[in-house]
Chain A
Amino acid sequence: MTVTEAVREQRERDARGGSDPDDERGDGDDPRGPDPSKPVRRAFGVVSRRPVLLFAFALAAAVVAVADVARILDPVGNATPNVVGGGLSFSFLAYPSGTRVTMVTPGALVGLQPWWLLATVVLGAVGPLAAGVATTWTVARAAKREVTVDRVLATTTYVAAVAAAWHASVWLVEAFPAAVAPLLLVGLWLSARLFPAPALAALDRSPLDAASEAYALTRGRAFGCFLSVLGAGTFGAILADAGSVAAISPSDPLFALGTALSYTFAGAIGAVAATIYAVEAREERDRRSEERDRRSEERGQWREGRADDGKRRNGN
Chain B
Amino acid sequence: MPPSPPPEAAASSRSSAQSRERTVSRRALVGAAASATAAGLAGCLGTGTTTDVTDAPWPMQGYDAGRTNHRADANPPRGDLAVAWRTDLPGHWPLPRQPVAYDDLVVAPNDGLLGLGRADGSERFALHPTRVGLAVAAADGYRTPTLVAGGDRVVLGLDAAGGVDTRVGERVAERWHVGDEDTGPFAGGLLGGGETVAGRTPVAADGVVYHASAEGAVVSRDAASGRERWRAADERGARFFAVDEHLYVAEHWMDVGAYDLSTGERVWTHEGGDVVSRHTAGVAATDGTVFVNDGRGITALDATDGGVRWRTSDGERVDVETSKSVPTVTDDTVVLPGYRAVHGFDRETGARVWKRALDPTDPRHVAAAGDLAFVPTEGGELVALQAATGRTAWEFRPREAWEVGPPVVADGRLYAVAGNTFVCLEGSR
Q: Give A contacts to B, CB under 8 Å.
A: 72-80, 82-83, 85, 87-97, 105-114, 116-117, 162, 165-166, 168, 171-172, 174-176, 187-188, 190-191, 194-198, 228-230, 232-234, 236-237, 240-241, 244, 248-251, 262, 266, 270, 273-274
Contacts and interface: CB of A to CB of B under 8 A. Distances in A.
Interface residues of B, number: 56
Given A110-B43, A111-B46, A90 B9 contact: yes
Contacts of B178: 80, 82, 250
Contacts, number: 205
B2 interface: yes
Nearest to A233: B5
A95 B6 CA distance: 10
B43 A76 contact: no
Contact of A110 (B37, B163, B180, B227): B163
A236 B7 CA distance: 11
Contact of B2 (A82, A112, A168, A191): A191
B135 interface: no
A175 B3 contact: no
A107 B5 contact: no
Given A74-B141, A111-B161, 10 more contacts: A75-B224, A79-B10, A87-B191, A90-B8, A107-B40, A109-B43, A113-B143, A232-B5, A237-B8, A251-B227
B273 interface: no
Contact of B224 (A76, A96, A240): A76
Nearest to A179: B169
A253 B39 CA distance: 32
B321 interface: no
B122 to A, nearest CB: 21
14 contacts: A75-B140, A79-B176, A85-B215, A88-B9, A93-B5, A95-B5, A107-B172, A109-B44, A171-B37, A175-B170, A187-B4, A191-B2, A196-B2, A274-B2
A82 B179 contact: yes
B326 interface: no
A108 B175 contact: yes
A112 B3 contact: no
Contacts of A97: 1
Contacts of B8: 88-93, 237, 240-241, 244
- List the 5 closest A-B pairs by CB distance, nearest first: A109-B40, A110-B43, A75-B141, A77-B175, A233-B5
A172 B1 CA distance: 17
B139 interface: yes
Interface in B167-189: 168-170, 172-180
Interface in B1-58: 1-10, 32-33, 36-37, 39-41, 43-46, 48
A175 B32 contact: yes
Contact of B4 (A79, A108, A188): A188
